[in-house]
Structure 1
Amino acid sequence: MVSLSRLSRLLPVGVLALTLACQNGSSPAPTPTPPSPPAPPTSTTFTNPLLTVGPDPWVYLKDNTYYYTSTTGGNIVIRKTAKMSELGSAVSTIVWTPQQASINQRDLWAPELFFFDGKWYIYYSADPFCCAGHRVHVLENASADPTTGTWTYKGRIANPTSDLWAIDGTVLEQNGKRYLIWSGHEVEASGTQRLYISEMSNPWTLTGPRVELSHPEYNWETNGEPDVNEGPEILKHGDKTFLVYSASHCSTDDYALGMLTASSTADPMQLSSWTKSATPVFVKNPAGRAFGPGHNGFFKSKDGTEDWIIYHANPNSGQGCGDNRSPRMQKFTWKADGTPDFGTPVALGTALPKPAGE
């Protein structure tokens, strides 16, 4: 018989335990299964603001990835994220600094990112140190990912017969054509900001006339100085095209959203195609610390079932046009007549369900 001391040197520990258990006339004890680690907590909500600073927020969704931009002043930054509720931890990339490209510009505002014809384009406003102030400018990038590759400056986008002060360019696609919509001056000496549209022959060139679509006329559009219609954004739903814009001066708490409505098949260059709402569609919520809500964008939830608005607002009264404006987002619904119901700006710190699919 092999001694236990020798057996322990010859057999693996597991076999030795089994042998000893059999010699003692008992079955081997089962090896205990380690407990499964607890599942990490899964949060289903988020709170506003998404970032502490972010005037003029814009979101573009492509291939299940969200790209976010906002006004920084001296450059253009893109944040890239799979989940809008996690924008605060998104990777942030500086993609354009004019001076590094030997282009003399200052006060870069309201960049908007689009993907057209296999390339990325950014429309932004900047003062080129000439021509009585700001103009809308265009950048182009052929990379699949707009946070990589090289951005090329394509120049100012302006109508040859009306190259006047202009900001907040956005693009409408309708009836197989593209149109630039922006906020500008009627004449060089005018301070009033109006909304204009012009057809595009390519992503960086306008063709034909500019047409005025809206100017400040109601009391809620004329708070502060000068009178302002700006930040035009396109929203489509069913058989309607909506142009949602910001009204009154950003220095006031009463900066708010107005809306124009047209048929989705109408000629957007015809003023008669548009109907202007006589009342604002999104206004301040002082109790919720949302002052001057505006300059918004729109996006779909990850699963495509929900519509969301992203906008900036100040947390306190009297903070005006500075960096206290923070980006916030909330889901919105649709009324029986097919128009959007944006509701009221949700109070800061309120737990909101994350966009569906996140």
Structure 2
Amino acid sequence: MLLFRSSFWTTLLLAGTLGCSKSSPTVVPQGPPPTTPVATTFTNPLLAAGPDPWVYQKDGFYYYMHTTGNNVVLRKTAKMSELGSAVSTTIWAAPATGPNSQNVWAPELHFLDGKWYVYFTAGPPGCCGGQRLWMLENANADPTTGAWTERGQLAVPGQDLWAIDGTILEQNGGRYLLWSGQEPNSEQQNLYICRMSSPTALTGARVQLSAPQYGWELNGFPKVNEAPQVLRHGSKTVLVYSASHCSTDDYALGMLTAPATADPMMLASWTKSPTPIFVKNPAGQAYGPGHNGFFTSRTGNEDWIIYHANPRTGQGCGDSRSPRMQKFTWRADDTPDFGTPVPLGVSLPRAGSSAGNPSYFFSPR
């Protein structure tokens, strides 16, 4: 009997213990959820295709464009290394017919006098012979929203000549258009400058600043100087341009320099480098590097060049040209040192990951 009672109370006590355990489970402390490591590097190319890349930065964002052939597309991103995931917005599509219905090339976005402007190249049906500069305008704060209005052709008064690759230079309180154009009855491409009376109009005569003259500028046909871009560093204004025809592997970057206070309409203000400053790197799958743009890191302490190049020899002027970017430095004479095109697939530190000395570009921030 004693054995029974002992077993009974033991069983009852065990049941009560299990009941308490079920109604009051043990709580295991949980740590914070695992975090995804932030990438500190990137690799080129930024996109599989993207000829004639251009970047404009404002209010903490980068706006990116490149040649598409039949429309104007704008991408917005906070990080250039994440360009591939940026949302694309088509802001203009070429009409079915007309003087700007074909060969839409090299769009550039600029913020001028409180509005956004895009300068791009286009022509009528045919193989590029009628290329001219055209304009779009948007008064919205964010250029990826609001209405874009076509503002027509941008031409030198009294002239209607072949023109591509328009960009903006601001110096000494004046504003100027730089572009690649031709003389009458000639297919050779030269660099020109003309004063702007407004973001949509030129005034006065144009001045030729550069023509193909050195051996490295004369590869392919026609002979080419094109895609002018502007930097300012220290006391110097630097005009970087592309030379030789894009159909060749030897498409490369050249340079003109002028004092930052000089009159840019005076040819005597400019000095042309006799040697190229950025050339192909076959071992790194970079053929025909050129048609570049510039931007700074969001912290303002790094300078970057963005450019296109082909991954293999003989690929010419097509969509195999991909956009790539890399940091650059400055020489003691205030000219840029772009180094060598970095090989595809090599890990590079993202923008803002190291310190440096800020320079100043002409594009307003």
Structure 2 residue 80 is the aligned partner of structure 1 residue 80 = no
Q: Counterparts of 2:78 and 2:300 in 1: how far apart (Å)?
A: 14
Q: Counterparts of 1:103 and 1:262 in 2: how far apart (Å)?
A: 36
Deviation at 1:173, TM superposition (A): 0.6
Deviation at 1:42, TM superposition (A): 2.1
Structure 2 residue 346 is the aligned partner of structure 1 residue 345 = no
Asked if the contact 1:183–1:193 (Cα under 8 Å) also holds between the matched residues in 2, the reply is yes
Q: Counterparts of 1:175 and 1:255 in 2: how far apart (Å)?
A: 32
Structure 1 unaligned runs (5+)? Answer: 18-28
43 and 142 in structure 1: CA distance in 2 versus 1, 3 angstrom threshold: same
Deviation at 1:251, TM superposition (A): 0.2
Q: Counterparts of 1:320 and 1:74 in 2: how far apart (Å)?
A: 19
Deviation at 1:186, TM superposition (A): 1.3
Q: Counterparts of 1:42 and 1:7 in 2: how far apart (Å)?
A: 49
Structure 2 residue 206 is the aligned partner of structure 1 residue 214 = no
Aligned residues: 341
Q: Which residue of 1 aligns with 2:360?
A: none
- Which of 59, 65, 69 is the equivalent residue of 1:69? 65
* 1:143 maps to amino acid: N
Q: Which residue of 1 aligns with 2:8?
A: none
Render the CA deviation track for 1:249-285: whole Å, top value 9, x for unaligned: 0000000000000111110000000000000000000
320 and 103 in structure 1: CA distance in 2 versus 1, 3 angstrom threshold: closer
* 2:264 maps to amino acid: P
Deviation at 1:302, TM superposition (A): 1.4
Map 1:328-343 to 2 at 5 A.
328-343=324-339
- Which of 29, 36, 46 is the equivalent residue of 1:50? 46
RMSD, aligned CA = 2.4
- Which of 89, 101, 105 is the equivalent residue of 2:101? 105
Asked if the contact 2:287–2:309 (Cα under 8 Å) also holds between the matched residues in 1, the reply is yes
Asked if the contact 1:50–1:327 (Cα under 8 Å) also holds between the matched residues in 2, the reply is yes
Q: Which residue of 2 aligns with 1:323?
A: 319
- Which of 138, 142, 165 is the equivalent residue of 1:141? 138
Q: Which residue of 2 aligns with 1:178?
A: 175
3-state SS of the aligned residue for 1:137? strand
3-state SS of the aligned residue for 1:136? strand
3-state SS of the aligned residue for 1:96? strand
- Which of 162, 166, 169 is the equivalent residue of 1:169? 166
Render the CA deviation track for 1:316-353: whole Å, top value 9, x for unaligned: 00000000000000000011111100000000000000
* 1:255 maps to amino acid: Y
Q: Which residue of 2 aligns with 1:93?
A: 89
Q: Which residue of 1 aligns with 2:244?
A: 248
Render the CA deviation track for 1:279-324: whole Å, top value 9, x for unaligned: 0000000000000000000000111100000000000000000000
Deviation at 1:38, TM superposition (A): 2.8
Deviation at 1:106, TM superposition (A): 1.0
Deviation at 1:33, TM superposition (A): 0.8
Q: Counterparts of 2:160 and 2:291 in 1: how far apart (Å)?
A: 23
Q: Counterparts of 2:147 and 2:192 in 1: how far apart (Å)?
A: 30
94 and 185 in structure 1: CA distance in 2 versus 1, 3 angstrom threshold: same
Q: Counterparts of 1:112 and 1:145 in 2: how far apart (Å)?
A: 16
Q: Which residue of 1 aligns with 2:265?
A: 269
4+ residue stretches of structure 1 with deviation over 6 A? Answer: 3-10, 100-103
Asked if the contact 2:40–2:353 (Cα under 8 Å) also holds between the matched residues in 1, the reply is no
* 1:121 maps to amino acid: Y
Asked if the contact 1:302–1:357 (Cα under 8 Å) also holds between the matched residues in 2, the reply is no
3-state SS of the aligned residue for 2:95? helix
134 and 337 in structure 1: CA distance in 2 versus 1, 3 angstrom threshold: same
Deviation at 1:237, TM superposition (A): 1.0
3-state SS of the aligned residue for 2:82? helix
Deviation at 1:357, TM superposition (A): 5.9
- Which of 225, 250, 257 is the equivalent residue of 2:221? 225
3-state SS of the aligned residue for 2:283? helix
104 and 183 in structure 1: CA distance in 2 versus 1, 3 angstrom threshold: closer
Asked if the contact 1:303–1:357 (Cα under 8 Å) also holds between the matched residues in 2, the reply is no
3-state SS of the aligned residue for 1:93? strand
Per the normalisation by structure 1, the TM-score is 0.90
Deviation at 1:102, TM superposition (A): 8.5
277 and 33 in structure 1: CA distance in 2 versus 1, 3 angstrom threshold: same
* 1:54 maps to amino acid: G
Q: Counterparts of 1:331 and 1:104 in 2: how far apart (Å)?
A: 36
317 and 102 in structure 1: CA distance in 2 versus 1, 3 angstrom threshold: closer
